[in-house]
Amino acid sequence: MSVENHKTLAIIGQGYVGLPLAMAAVEAGWTVIGVDNFEAKVSQINFGSSPVEDISDEQLKSAIAKGRYKATTEFSSVAAATVITICVPTPLDNNREPDLSLLRSAARGIAPHISNETLVVSESTSYPGTLRNVIVPIISELKPKESQKLYFASAPERVDPGNKTWNQRNTPRLVGGIDNESEKRAHDFYQSICDAVVKVATPEVAEAAKLLENTFRLVNIALVNEFTQLCFASGINVQDVIDAAGTKPYGFMPFRPGVGVGGHCIPIDPLYLTWWARQNGSSAVFVEFADSINRLMPRYVAERALGMIDTKVNRPKVLILGVAYKPGVRDVRETPVSELRNALISHGVEVAWHDPLVPLWEDTTPVGINWDCDVAILSTKQPGIDVTQLIDRGVRILDCTNSIKNLAGVTTL
Ligand SMILES: NC(=O)c1ccc[n+]([C@@H]2O[C@H](COP(=O)([O-])OP(=O)(O)OC[C@H]3O[C@@H](n4cnc5c(N)ncnc54)[C@H](O)[C@@H]3O)[C@@H](O)[C@H]2O)c1
């Protein structure tokens, strides 16, 4: 692959964010070097097998065949790039606080190889100040002497894996640079791959906006999860209530209840916000409450399912349908179904699971949908799950996805 092109982009992290960005950039005329420290993933990608659902093997193979894309574990390859984007995970540590160790190691990995006049962009989600106070100091300390002028910006990724409508190109991109030239260069770069680029005053505004977006989802999901419990206790179907409220043309946005929140964003990013608040001598109690309501939801769902089983059954059997954190993906990170299973087991239930997209989960394998059970819980509406045969067998279903309409034996959450 020739990397002498002036439009050479290096992307650190080739996962749900980095690989779709790479393919979007290839389409926009960039030559892309995908750096990832997970050797097996790099081999898989270079073999033409995509590890993420939104990118097909054909798309990947075509980019590789044209010589416009290659994955590597070699950080030194970023020397050829005029733009470097960082797309590594930003998880929580054991205390449920921000863990920037991967971000720091990515910054340390690229720093010694950065060429002069390179733009470095962080797309990873983090608290305000991460670019300026964590990434810039690491790179400034470790960069080569001759790389005197570097540019830095924050452009948080907004991708929604599995979403067929909104993608890299048509989702507006926020960009905040640490100075005017950084902002201009970041704007020009994203304009080459996105339809709309929105300049914001500082990287901190971009970082905070990303936390606000995902916290907005967290608290609204928590609200509707709490509301669900209030409605059920009074014999009201919460879905009817949400449909009714949703007829208001302004000032209301419908959210639906579910087993909880999962994935690498909604359960995690708001805790970056609560931690950041504490660092500033403040607290985000509203967000903390929302987090705890969502975290208790799997237990509530387990109790609702058990309430559907005849109390005379000695050791009930429950089949969980869908373990990925959302439909259409095989991603099980932070899936609330994990807590659901634990809650059922703690009630003495025999639990099995079925998910057409997930071959292995927490060291267990799926069962067929014909598994003999007392009740089934539809936790994630995965494509390929056919509930009709359960209904034909007379199995009762607790539908946590509001996707089964007017079928006998089905109760919505
Ligand atoms: N997944 C989403 O839906 C989504 C959406 C918007 C934003 N984000 C944010 O984007 C960032 C990346 O998330 P993701 O879902 O793509 O993660 P991911 O786990 O799918 O991919 C990250 C990749 O980075 C690699 N990696 C980890 N540390 C590295 C290092 N030091 N050097 C090189 N490679 C390294 C991993 O091997 C992995 O392949 C996170 O901050 C996340 O919050 C994710």
pLDDT tens digits, 26-57? 999 999 999 999 999 999 999 999 999 889 99
d(CA 369, CA 387) in angstroms, rounded, equals 8
Q: Does the C-beta of 14 come closer than 6 Å to ligand 1? A: yes
To the nearest whole percent, how much of the chain has pLDDT over 70?
99
Could you read off the pLDDT of 269-288 as tens digits, one per residue? Answer: 999 999 999 999 999 999 99
Query: Residues 263, 218: contact at Cβ < 8 Å?
Result: no
> What is the pLDDT, as a whole number, of residue 233?
96
- CA angle in degrees (0–180, nearest 5) for 8-90-137: 65
> What is the pLDDT, as a whole number, of residue 162?
83
The rounded Å distance from CA 89 to ligand 1 centre is: 4
33 closest CA partner among 65, 63, 78, 66 = 78
pTM: predicted TM-score of the whole model, two decimal places:
0.92
Could you read off the pLDDT of 227-264 as tens digits, one per residue? Answer: 999 999 999 999 999 999 999 999 999 999 999 999 98
Could you read off the pLDDT of 314-359 as tens digits, one per residue? Answer: 899 999 999 999 998 899 999 999 999 999 999 999 999 999 999 9
The rounded Å distance from CA 17 to ligand 1 centre is: 6
Beta bridge partners of 33: 10, 70
> What is the pLDDT, as a whole number, of residue 3?
47
Could you read off the pLDDT of 388-402 as tens digits, one per residue? Answer: 989 999 999 999 999
Q: Does the C-beta of 266 come closer than 6 Å to ligand 1? A: no
Mutate to test the pocket of ligand 1, among 88, 124, 207, 326 (most ligand atoms within 8 A of CB): 88
Residue 161 has pLDDT above 90, yes or no: no
Predicted confidence band of residue 120 (pLDDT cuts 50, 70, 90): very high
Going 302 to 304 to 309 to 314, the CA torsion angle's sign is positive
The rounded Å distance from CA 19 to ligand 1 centre is: 10
Beta bridge partners of 120: 84, 152
Exposed e or buried b per residue across 316-345, where buried means at least 16 C-beta atoms within 10 angstroms of its C-beta: bbbbbbbbbbbebbbbbbbbbbbbbbebbe
> What is the pLDDT, as a whole number, of residue 141?
97
The rounded Å distance from CA 102 to ligand 1 centre is: 9
d(CA 142, CA 104) in angstroms, rounded, equals 12
d(CA 331, CA 89) in angstroms, rounded, equals 14
Predicted confidence band of residue 408 (pLDDT cuts 50, 70, 90): confident
Q: Does the C-beta of 106 come closer than 6 Å to ligand 1? A: yes
What 312-315 contacts at long range (C-beta under 8 Å, 24+ apart), as own/partner pairs, is: 313/374, 315/348, 315/349, 315/350
Mean pLDDT computed over every residue of the chain:
95
> What is the pLDDT, as a whole number, of residue 1?
54
> Largest Cα–Cα distance in the chain?
77
> What is the pLDDT, as a whole number, of residue 28?
94
Atom in ligand 1 nearest the alpha carbon of residue 36 = 34
* Chain Cα centroid distance, residue 93: 17
Residue 168 has pLDDT above 90, yes or no: no
